[in-house]
Chains A and B, each alone.
Chain A
Amino acid sequence: MKVKIGFEIHLQLATDRKMYCNCPTNYQEAKPNTNICPICTGTPGAKPLPPNESAINSAIEIALMLGCRVHSGEVIYIQRKHYDYPDLPSGYQRTSLPISSGGELEGVRIRELHFEEDPGQYDPVSGTVDFNRSGVPLVEIVTEPDIESPEHARRFLRSLMRALEYTGKVRPEAGGAMRADVNISVEGGGRVEIKNINSVRGAYRALKYEIMRQGKMFRRGESVVRETRAYLESQMVTVPMRTKETEEDYRYIPDPDIYPIIIEKSKVDEIRSKMPEPPIMREKRLSQQYGIPSNVAEVISSERELADLYEAVAIKVDPGLAATWFRTKLKKIMNYMGIRAVDLKFTPDQLAKVLNMVQSEKLTPEQGELVLRELARNPDEPERIVKRLGLAPVGENELRAEVERVIAENGRAVQDYISGKDEALNFLTGKVLKAVKGRADPRVVGEMIKKALDRV
């Protein structure tokens, strides 16, 4: 069963000011209806200011990140899209014609990209509208229907989010700022549009559900007609939307209050010269330049700040060791703490020191991980952390004494070991480590016990 999936994805641009007025954009923090003015509330007679240049620049950078051709030198109209909803103060939304087209990501062609403005937020329960969000700049990315499965969709969206996060020009997904509509057609059926998708996971689940639903209809001999459905996040299903909502005619007209924009080629060149390396390119480069496996390079380049940190550390220690630590221990700590690379406050130097201590066996890998965890929580010089945690390795004599003591006190386990039960060695090693509070390498301890018992 052949499936074709395409996306229309809306994201908020991370600008300080709204698209057509100077109101601040921090609508989530502000009290309702405090970040507003005559312009973003559509007060009679209010005229838009010229479009927010930093929003347009952000949209250009995103387009370049996705390998799109920016329509520089062309006249780009800003249109009015009319529809009637309480959150839309003027009864229309301003939306630009495409500013770029023709990119590609994960085998999915980008059809076009343009900018828009967000409406306010309507609460149907209280019947009130908060216009703080009204006029916040958005970018809309439209793909061709090149996606072939929910898994492919998920891969594409993750890659897209990673590329957008690299630019730093969109509000993070965590803020609920991504909104997607998805078109899906399963071979033999009509095209179904699903609205109200708010996350990568939501997209995956909605598509899974929709393919299953359409499959069932096919098997029952029913035909799938063209329609618009809504995804219900809480129930993980899609439901039909009323036809009135889907057959709207937006009566697009160029906004007479805004002169069309023309993007200068020199501006595009300038943005291109300053923008970060796209994640896909960086992933490849990391793999080649540092000789690390591509799956490890993928993990490291999942966040721009993580990749930046890696490259700063990799010039000070063995890049292979650093890569392994990034992929396993550092990622584990970040996941545990629920933080992202941008939240890591220690310096590359401090991390490099920890790795060097491990490499020179001043710390065991387990101890190194403890130091790293502490470093992530309360950044400090690693030497001081080692001291504070009492991790300086025990002296050889002290260790040997502990080994002797444990052997003497655990006759039964010693007997087990001698009679061939290898697990007994682990038990004994554990006893020793506990006695020295982990300040020894388990492998070394194991060897010492083995040697001692072999002599018996």
Chain B
Amino acid sequence: MTMEKMRRIRQGELSAAENLSGMLDRIKKLDGEIRAFIELNPNAPAEAERIDRRIQKGERVGKLAGLVIGIKSNINVFGLRATCASRTLENYISPYDAEVVRRIRAEDGIIVGMTNMDEFACGSSGETSAFGPTDNPAARGFIPGGSSSGSAAAVAAGFCDLSLGSDTGGSIRNPASHCGVVGLKPTYGLVPRQGLIDLGMSLDQIGPFSPDVSGVALMSEVICGRSENECAMLDAEKPEYLNNLEGGIKGLKVGISPKFAELTDSRIMDVVDAAVEKLEDLGAEVIEVDLPNLERALSAYYLIVSVEFFSATRKFDGRKYGKKIEEVCGEEVLRRIIRGSYISRKEHRGRFYQRALQVRTLIRQELLAAVDKVDVLVGPTVPKLPHRLGEKISVSDMYAYDYLTVPANLAGICAGVVRAGDVNGIPVGVQIQGKILGELKVLRAMKALEEAG
């Protein structure tokens, strides 16, 4: 799908301007209800025309030439508002491009707008945005998942070809699963975070959404790889995924864990089990691995993310951006700030935060040992089906959506999600976790499942 469109644009069968205007028409018609975007880029049509002129002249164009791209509202795009879907930053216009945006522009992608999200990426449902909740285009009336709700929904609704989200504890994978699109959380440190507004800095990672695996591979090639301008990054070459996706999965070692079924709705497990069988049919070797402490990841995650978020939000003190975060933010953001402030107090040193870091080390060791034995781990993404928009659920029920996605962030490994089926018409994505820098094998397994249908 993505590759076909790329080809048509390059060969002049479809102009970038036509592609964009098609998208804008759909947005105009449907986004009033979906609410995938917070703001559109007024310069996009001019950018599209510029690319068309270059294609007409036969000039070299970048990998993303003419493709329409949505950017999550916590990533800085020069001249557009990076609101983080919060009143705190509702008037914050980015004075610079994030490094990933620079890379997208260098490959001639057209940024169509800033997508909706859970406020400051604090949420798993897409409902905590100050600009209103996003609907799920693939299962209307249900939550799209979060926090990259708008980025997933925009791709699912055909508002853009590709989009960027960020994933701190599942924020790409969870909405990819609920919206039935493909998403990838790359290895921590493989994608520059320069320009990504913080949630939990030791966990945050930018990653792509696409309707198909090729699109995710394409966008990953563009955004991955070392940056001189960043400290906490891996010294990794720019990867080549797109030309290495084929080749099948014969002999691929696929890990599964009985832990998954313990934590997950059986209807979802049925979809996951069927996917594992397909992989086995395609020649993969299925191996059971042990993840004895997997469920402990969740509470450790929420302690760590709260402390880091507390630290990150100290700059929103009301002096520079007009509004003090605690005075205008929603409940969940405030809850995390207060929790982070409380557990990082001096008198609590060694109790909560330190313990959480110890659990993190344990989970990391456990997961790294598991993926060391196999090539990929295949399991569910979200342990339960999404609730209906507006339905009240408890804080702990909300956090429980993240049981299976936070371990990959704590361990720093990569993980992708691809649609594997549905339950009562609600898409269910299977999660494929890989080794550190194991993106290619993850993408190949995803591709195999996609092709198997």
Contacts and interface: CB of A to CB of B under 8 A. Distances in A.
Interface of A: 20, 38, 42-51, 80, 82, 84, 86, 89-92, 249-251, 253, 256-259
Dominant SS at the A interface?
loop
Interface string B274-317: 00000000000000000000000000000000011011011101
B231 interface: yes
Interface in B213-230: 229-230
B193 A47 contact: yes
Nearest to A51: B231
B345 interface: yes
Contacts of A38: 95-96
B320 interface: yes
A400 B75 CA distance: 93
Contacts of B98: 45
Given A249-B346, A251-B341, A47 B230 contact: yes
Nearest to B228: A49
Interface stretch (B31-39, B197-205, B244-252): B197-205
B41 interface: no
B315 A257 contact: no
B345 A251 contact: yes
What are the 3 A-B residue pairs with the smallest beta carbon separation, nearest first? A91-B314, A256-B201, A256-B202
B231 A50 contact: yes
Contacts of A258: 231-232
Contacts of A259: 231-232
A257 B345 contact: no
Contacts of A46: 96, 194-195
Contact of B76 (A44, A82, A86, A92): A44
A44 B75 CA distance: 9
Contacts of B85: none
A259 B235 CA distance: 13
B314 A92 contact: yes
A20 B320 CA distance: 21
Given A38-B95, A251-B344, A257-B201, A47 B231 contact: yes
B196 interface: yes
A196 B197 CA distance: 35
A316 B95 CA distance: 62
Interface centre among A48, A49, A82, A256 (most CB of B within 10 A): A256
A84 B95 contact: no
A90 B76 contact: no
Contact of B194 (A45, A89, A90): A45
11 contacts: A44-B76, A44-B82, A44-B89, A45-B194, A46-B96, A49-B229, A84-B317, A86-B319, A89-B320, A251-B344, A251-B346
B230 A89 contact: no
Given A253-B353, A258-B231, A47 B194 contact: yes
Contacts of A89: 315, 320
Interface in B78-110: 82, 84, 89, 92, 94-96, 98
Contacts of A91: 311, 313-315, 317
Interface of B: 74-76, 82, 84, 89, 92, 94-96, 98, 193-198, 200-202, 229-232, 307-308, 310-311, 313-315, 317, 319-321, 341, 344-346, 353
Contacts of A45: 74-76, 82, 94, 98, 194-198
A351 to B, nearest CB: 49
Contacts of A49: 229-231
A257 B231 contact: yes
Contact of B311 (A48, A80, A86): A80
Contacts of B94: 45
B141 to A, nearest CB: 33
Given A256-B232, A257-B231, A82 B314 contact: yes
Contacts of B345: 249, 251
Nearest to A84: B317
Interface centre among A45, A82, A84, A259 (most CB of B within 10 A): A45
Contacts of B341: 251
A249 B194 CA distance: 29
A92 B314 CA distance: 7
B311 A82 contact: yes
A49 B308 CA distance: 19
Contacts of A257: 193, 201, 231-232
B234 to A, nearest CB: 10
Nearest to A50: B231
A90 B319 contact: no
Contacts of A253: 307-308, 311, 344, 353
Nearest to B313: A91
A42 B346 CA distance: 25
B194 to A, nearest CB: 5
A42 B197 CA distance: 11
A249 B342 CA distance: 11
Contacts of A20: 231
Contacts of A86: 319
Contacts of B196: 45
A241 B196 CA distance: 39
Interface centre among B92, B194, B197 (most CB of A within 10 A): B194
B23 to A, nearest CB: 26
Contacts of B74: 45
Contacts of B84: 44
Nearest to B74: A45
A80 B197 CA distance: 17
A257 B195 CA distance: 12
Contacts of B202: 256
Contacts of A47: 193-195, 229-232
A53 to B, nearest CB: 12
Given A43-B96, A47-B232, 18 more contacts: A20-B231, A38-B96, A44-B84, A44-B197, A45-B75, A47-B193, A47-B229, A82-B314, A91-B313, A250-B346, A251-B310, A251-B311, A251-B341, A253-B307, A253-B311, A256-B200, A256-B202, A259-B231
